[in-house]
Homo-oligomer: A and B are copies of this chain.
């Protein structure tokens, strides 16, 4: 069969290679109908260290099931399917929480799919493939394009909006005007954002985003871009969707948010930030800061205390007069009390 192979940095060729075969019981062989090039493929394409003959890193396709391993119960030869860039098992804690992109069982098997080829061997296929009704010939070319986006860029744009918890009425800023950024605009609109600003310097991308639901475009970058966004929104954004993967894009995203805002980032990290890199691999959300004492007290905590529903006061295991303040610190420092209360009368 024909398959794309990297020839050298900045060049991809075509090679005639063996058609893949079923190896594991949960493999599926798929005849590709449409594949595509991902922004992340370009990182390898450009890499001066890419060796000739290295298979392509394509990982997005739609196609027809050609052959299914004996453990496969969900699809059969002839089925038209979305071939996602992930291999969720559908059973682990991560998959059950809707994070099959970081499946606890198949982590590390997500990319490098060699999908720019006539046939694909797709591992762990039983739960991960998504059936499309009918056959490719039933659809227009435009619809086939949209179905193809469901292999990666549309779910990825959606993921940014979901993990940033975009809600009805939110003011949202999208960083990155490529395919994923465009899909993030669509996702923000699906979730009911009231304002969606795309940061973009390219006229074609700006136009596409405005047609998909963006309400404004900001071409400026850095501090100038942040100021422009805040002018348009009359303040900071509720959510920022980072769809690039550079430190500058992360800074831009954090910069446009009001305090208490939410960043969803799906650009594959191309920066040395250990904290963000490690949470990205695990799809873990990280949030914290000073508590909203006034809000929580007024809304429910004071009532819960007065009603006797909770008894947080038990943390004060010792009480002191103000005159004994030194002892109050010392006892707490030495763990003789969990927390020292000062009685002032």
B273 touches A283 (CB 8 A): no
Q: How far is the CB of A167 from chain B (nearest CB, A)?
A: 11
Q: Quick check: is A114 within 8 A (CB to CB) of the other chain?
A: no
Q: How far is the CB of A9 from chain B (nearest CB, A)?
A: 11
Q: A37-B329, A262-B287, A282-B261 are in contact. Are A238 and B97 (CB under 8 A)?
A: yes
Q: Which of A101, A205, A208 gathers the greatest number of chain B CB atoms within 10 Å?
A: A101
Contact with B along A89-121 (1 / 0, CB 8 A): 010111101111111100100100000111000
Q: A322-B116, A341-B145 are in contact. Are A254 and B282 (CB under 8 A)?
A: yes
Q: Quick check: is A148 within 8 A (CB to CB) of the other chain?
A: yes
Copies of this chain assembled into the complex: 2
B93 touches A235 (CB 8 A): yes
Instruction: With CB as the reference atom, state the residue of chain B lying closest to A85.
Output: B293
B86 touches A322 (CB 8 A): no
A342 to B58, CA, bound (A): 10
A84 touches B294 (CB 8 A): yes
Q: Quick check: is A289 within 8 A (CB to CB) of the other chain?
A: yes
Instruction: With CB as the reference atom, state the residue of chain B lying closest to A107.
Output: B259
A88 to B150, CA, bound (A): 43
B153 touches A292 (CB 8 A): no
Q: A257-B282, A276-B275, A288-B242 are in contact. Are A297 and B99 (CB under 8 A)?
A: no
Q: What chain B residues lie within 8 Å of A103 (beta carbons)? A: 259
Q: How far is the CB of A227 from chain B (nearest CB, A)?
A: 15
A312 touches B149 (CB 8 A): yes
Q: What chain B residues lie within 8 Å of A71 (beta carbons)? A: none
Stretch of A18-26, A124-132, A215-223 lying at the B interface: A124-132
Q: Quick check: is A204 within 8 A (CB to CB) of the other chain?
A: yes
A280 touches B275 (CB 8 A): no
Q: What chain B residues lie within 8 Å of A293 (beta carbons)? A: 82, 84-86, 100-101, 130, 150-152, 155-156
Q: A163 touches which one: B235, B266, B288 (CB < 8 A)?
A: B288
Q: How far is the CB of A90 from chain B (nearest CB, A)?
A: 8
Q: How far is the CB of A126 from chain B (nearest CB, A)?
A: 11
Q: What chain B residues lie within 8 Å of A261 (beta carbons)? A: 93, 97, 282, 284-285
Q: How far is the CB of A280 from chain B (nearest CB, A)?
A: 5
The 4 tightest CB contacts between A and B, nearest first, are: A99-B260, A145-B313, A283-B289, A101-B290
A sample of 11 inter-chain contacts (CB < 8 A) reads A41-B329, A84-B297, A88-B294, A98-B292, A99-B259, A155-B292, A162-B296, A242-B288, A266-B288, A276-B286, A285-B285
